Amino acid sequence: MRYAKRIIAFLVFVCGLILLLLAASFLFMPKNNMKEFGMEEVSANGILGEKENTVDVLVVGDSESYSAVTPMQIWKEQGYTAYVCGSSGQTLDYSMTMIRRAFEKQKPKLVFLETDAIYRKVSKSGALLTKLGNYLSVFRYHNRWKSLSWNDLKGHAEFTWTDDYKGYEYNNAVAPCKNQDYMIPSGTAARIPELNRLYVQEIRNYCEENGAKLVFLSTPSPVNWNYERHNGIAALAGELSCDYIDLNLQNEQLQIDWSKDTRDKGDHLNHNGAVKATHYLADYLNQTNLLTDHRGDPEYEKWNEALKRYEAAVSSAGNGQ
Amino acid sequence: MPSISSYFSLAYLGLLLPLTIVVYAAAPQKIRRWALLIFSWLFFWSISGKLIVYLLFSILSVHHIGLWLSMLQEEGDRLLKAADRGERKALKAQCQRKQRMVMTFGACLHIGILLLLKYGPFFVLNINRVFRALGLHVNLTVPSFALPIGISFYTLQAVSYLFDVYRRKIPADKSMFRLALFMSFFPQIMEGPICRYEDTAGELWEAEPIRFQNLVFGAERILFGAMKELVLADRLNLLIQNVFTNYDTYDGFVIALSAVCYTLQLYMDFSGTMDIVIGSAQIFGVTLPENFRRPFFSRTISEFWKRWHITLGTWFKDYVFFPLSMSKPLKKLTSRARKRLGNHFGPLLSGSIALFAVWFCNGLWHGAGWHYIFFGMYHFCLILIGNMIEPLVLSVTGKLHISRSSLPYRCFQIVRTAVLVCIGELFFRATGLRAGFAMFRKIFTNFTLATFRDRTLFTFGMDQKDYLIVFIAVLLIFVVGLLQEKGIAIREKLAGKNLAVQFSAYYALVLFIVIFGAYGSGYVPVDPIYAGF
C-alpha cells in the first residue's frame, strides 16, 4: 500500500512537472520570428515566414554556408528558390532541428549540407538539450525571461517575417589569405566522429522520407578544409549514396582569388567569393533537372520584389566601401 | 559510455546516475557492490580513457603494500611476544623501522607518481630558468604527461589508507575489491571529498538497499547543487573569463568586482559539485564527509579553512601538520622556544614551521604554478599573523570595551575575512603571479566607478538582469545557510510537510533552474574547477 501511494505521488509529481514545463514553453516560445520577439538565429528562421511550399532548396551548416551561398543570385540566374538555414557554429543536431523546422511548411527537393559542420564536434549534452528544446521550447528560449511581456501570455505564434537575403550574410570586407595551395592530394581520410556520422545518417534518412535529395557541399575555405577532410566526406557520401560537391577542388571553374574573395584570411568567403561559389551551384541545380524556374510564376512575385531590394542593398553597401 | 565532462552534465545526471540507480536497485544485495564498482570504473574510463591504468595500478599497489605492512605488524607482534623483556625495546624499534620503510615506500610511490605527472613539467621549467639565470647553457626537455582526472584526490585517499594501516588505526583490507570501491567510487573520484577508509569503505561495501527517504533527500541535494552551478557559477563565467584574460583593459572597480565574482563562482562550482556528489552517494545509502560548512560565515581565516574544503584541510592536518609538529626536532624546538619566548610565542614558532609545510603543500596541490604557491603562502601569512596578534587584539578590544561576541563586531570579522579571501582568490585565478600583482595594483591605482556610471559594466558578460538573478540566488543560498547555521535541518522540515508543499518547493526549484539557468546558446559552462587540481 505504501509503495503504491509513493508511486502514485511520483506519477502525479511528474505529470505536474510536465504540465508546468509545457505552460512555460508556451510562455517562452517567441510569438513571431523577429528579433524583437526573442527569436534565435533570426536570418535562418526567416524561412518560417516564407509562403508555404515555395522553397526548392535548403542549405544548412555553419557560418561557411551563409557566407558562401546567396540564394537571391540563384533566383536571379535560374529562378529556383533557395534558403540558407545555416547559423554560426552550427552543429549537426541543430542542422537536423533546422531541417525539421523548415520541412513543417516547405517541401524542398534538394538539401545542401555544408560539410564543415560534419567535422564540428557535437557534444552529447548539447545534442540532448537541442532534442529537449525541440519538444519543450522553454529549454531553448529560457533566456527570454529578460524580455517577456504580457503579449507572451496570449495568442499563438505567427511567423510573418522573411529575409530579403534568404539567410545569406552579406559581407564584402577583404582580408587576403596567403595559403592558396591547401588542397594537397593525400591518401588518408580525416575521421568523422561517430555521433556526427549518426546525425548525418539521420539527416539523410529524413530527407529521403520527405522526398528531398541530400547533397554534401564543401564551400571554399583554406582555413577549414584540406584533402584529408575531402577524402573523409567523399567516403561518407559513397556510403550514403549522396552527391558530393567540393568547391575547393573546382577552382579552375570558380576562379576564387584568395587575395580578394575572403573576408577573414581564408576562413570565410566574402560577397565576391560567394557570388562565384553560388554561380557554380546555380549551374549544378540546373543540371539536376529537379527544379522548375519560377521567375514567371505570379505566386513567386515576392521573390522578384525581394531581389530588387537585395540588389539595391548590395549595390549601396558595395558603393559605400 | 559517453564521455562525461562534469557532474552537471546531462550524461552524468541524465544517464550514468539514473542507470546506476536502476541497476543497483534491481540487483540482489551481493551484486550491488559489484554494480557500484563496475559503474565507477566505467565512469573513470569515460573521463580518463586508458589513463584508468594509473588508478588500477594505485589500487593494486596500495592493497599489496597494506597487506605487506599488516604482515610485518603481525610478525613483529609475534616476535615481541616471544622475546625477552630486555630485548623487546630494540626489537620493537627494529620492527617499527621496517614498517616505516614500507609505509614510506608506499607513500613515496604514490606521491611520486603525482609529482611526476602533475608537477614534472613545472619543476623542469624552473630548473631551466635557474640554469639560464646562472648563465649555463643547459636546457632540459620539458616533459608532457597526460594527467588522469582525479589523481590528486585518489592519491591522497591512498596515502591516508597506508598511514592509517601503519598507525594501526585500521586493519589492512584483505579484499582488494573493497579497497578498489573505496578508491574509485564514482560520485567522488573526480573532485572529492577526500574520504577516509574507516568512514566510507564499510558503508560502500555493505551496499544497503535504496531507501525512499535517501532517494528523496539525495535528489533534493542534487537539485540544489545544480541550481548553484547552472544559475550562478555558469552565469558568472563570461564576465570572469573576459576580465581575467584581458585585465589590462579594465579598471580597478571591474577587477575588484571580478575577484568577488570569481570567489562566488569557485564556491558555487565546488560546493554545488559537492552537493551533487554527496546527494548521489546518499541515494546509495553512503554518507560522504561534508566538504563545506558555510565558509562565508567565518570570522577568521583559520575558521574559513575549517569550513572550506574541509577534507583537504583535515588531510593536511592529520598527515602533514601533526606528524611534523610531533617530530623529535620540532618537539625539542618547542620546549626550547617555550623557555625563551614564553607560552604563547614558543609553541607558535615550531607550529609555524609545520604550518608553513601545510600551506606550501596546499598551494602546490592546487596546481603547478607560482601563483598557486603564492596563494598558499598568502594564507599561511594571514593565519600566522592572526595567531601572533591574537593577544594584542584581545587586549585592545578589552580596553576599548568592544564585545567580541556582539553582532557588529562579528559582522566586521565576517566581512574582513571575506575580503581577505577574495584577494587570495584574485591571485589564485589570475593567469600568473605577475598578472595577479598587476590586477591587485589596479584596484588601488585605477579605481573608478566610470563603467558603472556609463553602464558599460553591463556589457562585459552580464547585464543588469543577470546581476539581479545573481543577487536573488545568493540571497536564497544565504538564507538556507543561515537556517543551517541555526541548526535547522531544511530537508527534514520539508519532509514533514504535506505533499502539496513539498511538490511546490520542488517545482519552484526546477523552474528556477530551467528558466534562470545559464545554459544553451550564448553561455559557456565553467569547466569543473576542482577536477583540474
Q: Print the domain residue range for B400.
A: 293-429
Q: Tell me whether residues A24 and B465 touch, CB distance under 8 A.
A: no
Q: Is B4 contained in some domain? A: no
- Name the minimum distance, in Å, from the CA of A143 to any CA of chain B: 7
Q: Do the chains contact at A138 and B515, CB–CB below 8 Å?
A: yes
List residues in chain A touching B: CB distance below 8 A: 6, 9, 12-13, 16-17, 20-21, 24, 28, 40, 123-125, 128-129, 133, 138-140, 142-143, 145-146
Write the DSSP string, A27-39: HHS-SSSSGGGT-
Report if residue B124 sits inside a domain: yes
Cell 579497497 appears where? B179
Alpha-carbon gap, residue B204 to B39, rounded angstroms:
13
* Whether residue B108 is found in the same domain as residue B185: yes
pLDDT tens digits along B215-261:
999 999 999 999 999 999 999 998 999 999 999 999 999 999 999 99
Instruction: Say how far apart CA B133 and CA B96 lie, in whole Å.
Output: 45
Chain A closest CA to B43's CA: distance in Å? 15
Given B398, B429, B460, the domain boundary residue is B429
Give yes or no: residues B272 and B339 share one domain. Answer: no
Q: Which of B9, B506, B507 sits opposite A125 (nearest CB)?
A: B9
CA distance B225 to B221: 6
Measured from the Cβ of residue A273, the count of other Cβ atoms closer than 10 Å reads 27
| A128:B515 CB<8 A | no
Distance from CA of A153 to the nearest CA of B (A): 16
Cβ neighbours of B105 (radius 10 Å): 15
Cβ–Cβ below 8 Å for A129 and B519: yes
| Band (A249; pLDDT cuts 50, 70, 90) | very high
**B11 interfacial to chain A (CB closer than 8 Å):** yes
pLDDT tens digits along B246-259 = 999 999 999 999 99
CA dist., res. B165 & res. B153, Å (int): 19
Q: Residue B413: helix, strand or coil by DSSP?
A: helix
B411 found inside a domain: yes
Domain boundaries, chain A: 2-320
| Minimum CA–CA partner of A140 in chain B | B520
Q: What is the mean pLDDT of residues B194-205?
A: 93
B516 near A CB under 8 A: yes
Q: Is the pLDDT of residue B119 over 90?
A: no
| Same domain as B171, residue B108 | yes
pLDDT digit string, tens, across residues B424-450: 999 989 988 899 999 999 999 988 888
Mean pLDDT estimate for chain B = 90
Question: Residue B125 to residues A185, B138, B144, B152, B369: CA-CA distances in angstroms?
Answer: 40, 12, 11, 21, 11
Query: Could you say which of B463, B515, B519 has the minimum Cβ distance to residue A145?
Result: B515
Residue B58 and residue B125 share a domain: yes
Per-residue pLDDT for B180 more than 80?
yes
The answer to whether the beta carbons of residues B60 and B176 sit under 8 Å apart is yes
Query: How large is the average pLDDT for residues B260-286?
Result: 95
> What's the length of chain A?
321
Q: Among the three residues B379, B396, B429, which one is the final residue of a domain in this structure?
A: B429
Q: How far is C-alpha B114 from the chain's CA centre?
A: 16
The helix (run of H) or strand (run of E) holding residue B311 is: helix B310-316
The C-alpha angle with vertex A23 and arms to A19 and A25, in degrees rounded to 5, equals 115
Backbone angles phi, psi at B179, to 5 degrees: -65, -40
B511–A20 C-beta distance less than 8 A: yes
- Asked whether the predicted pLDDT for residue B529 surpasses 80, the reply is no
The minimal CB distance from B511 to the residues A9, A12, A24 is found for A24
- A203 closest CA partner among A217, A194, A213, A189: A213
Mutation site, B514, B523, B524, B526, interface A, largest A CB count within 10 A: B514
Looking at residue A199, what is its pLDDT? 96
CB contacts, 8 Å: A6 with chain B: 212
From 3.90.226.10, 3.40.50.720, 4.10.80.400, 3.40.50.1110, which CATH number describes the A2-320 domain?
Answer: 3.40.50.1110
Above pLDDT 70, what percent of chain B? Answer: 98
Q: What is the pLDDT of residue B97?
A: 92
User: What residues in B contact A142, CB-CB < 8 Å?
Assistant: 514-517, 519-520
A16 contacts on B by Cβ (under 8 Å) = 503, 507
| Cβ–Cβ below 8 Å for A146 and B10 | no
* Distance in angstroms (rounded) separating the CA atoms of residues B217 and B220: 5
Nearest-CA distance from B16 to chain A in Å?
Answer: 13
Considering only CB atoms, which chain A residues are within 8 Å of B11? 124-125
Smallest Cα distance from B520 to chain A, Å: 7
Confidence label for B1 from pLDDT (cuts 50, 70 and 90): very low
Query: For position B533, what pLDDT does the model report?
Result: 57
Of B209, B224, B243, the last residue of a domain is: B209
Residues in chain B: 533
The reported pLDDT for the residue numbered B528 is 63
Asked if B499 has any chain A CB less than 8 Å from its own CB, the reply is: yes
Q: Cβ atoms within 10 A of the Cβ of A151, count?
A: 10
Comparing CA positions, the residue from B480, B471, B477, B466 lying closest to residue B518 is: B466
Same domain, B92 and B40: yes
First to last CA, chain B: 25
What is the count of residue pairs from A and B with beta carbons less than 8 Å apart? 55
How many domains are contained in chain B? 3
**Does B517 contact A at CB distance below 8 Å?**
yes
- Environment class of residue B185 by beta-carbon count within 10 Å: exposed (0-12), middle (13-18) or buried (19+)? buried
Chain A hits for B515, Cβ within 8 Å: 24, 28, 138, 142, 145
Provide the CB-side half-sphere exposure for A52 (13 A, CA).
2
**pLDDT tens per residue across span B95-117:** 899 999 999 999 999 999 988 88
Does the pLDDT of residue A64 top 50, yes or no? yes
CB within 8 Å: A16 and B519: no
Asked if residue B1 belongs to a domain, the reply is no
Check pLDDT > 90 for residue A123.
no
Tally of CB atoms within 10 A around B66? 27
Of A24, A123, A133, the CB nearest to B515: A24
Chain A CB within 8 Å of residue B458 CB = no
pTM: 0.84
Q: Do B50 and B138 lie in a common domain?
A: yes
Q: Give me chain A's average pLDDT, please.
A: 92
Residue of A nearest to B11 (CA): A125
pLDDT band with cut points at 50, 70 and 90 for residue B532? low
pLDDT, tens digit, 9 for 90 and up, residues A206-248: 999 999 999 999 999 999 999 999 999 999 999 999 999 999 9
Structure-derived torsion over alpha carbons of residues A33, A72, A258, A214, reported in degrees to the nearest 10: 70
**Lowest-pLDDT range, A184-193, B1-10, B299-308?**
B1-10
Chain-chain contact of A16 with B9 (C-beta, under 8 angstroms): no
What residue ranges in A142-263 does DSSP mark as E strands? 213-218, 243-246
Half-sphere exposure of A114 (CA within 13 A, CB side): 33
The 3 state secondary structure assigned to B223-283 is: HHHHHHHHHHHHHHHHHHHHHHHCHHHCCHHHHHHHHHHHHHHHHHHHHHHHHHHHHHHHH
My answer on whether B69 and B185 are in the same domain is yes
ipTM entry: 0.80
Same domain, B30 and B159: yes
Instruction: State the nearest Cα–Cα gap between A191 and chain B, in angstroms.
Output: 18
Same domain, B15 and B157: yes
B20's CB contacts (< 8 A; 6+ apart) are: B35, B36, B39, B186
The answer as to whether B2 is a domain residue is: no
Q: Do B521 and A143 touch (CB under 8 A)?
A: yes
Nearest-Cα distance to chain A for B250, in Å, is: 26
Please tell me the predicted confidence (pLDDT) of residue B4: 63
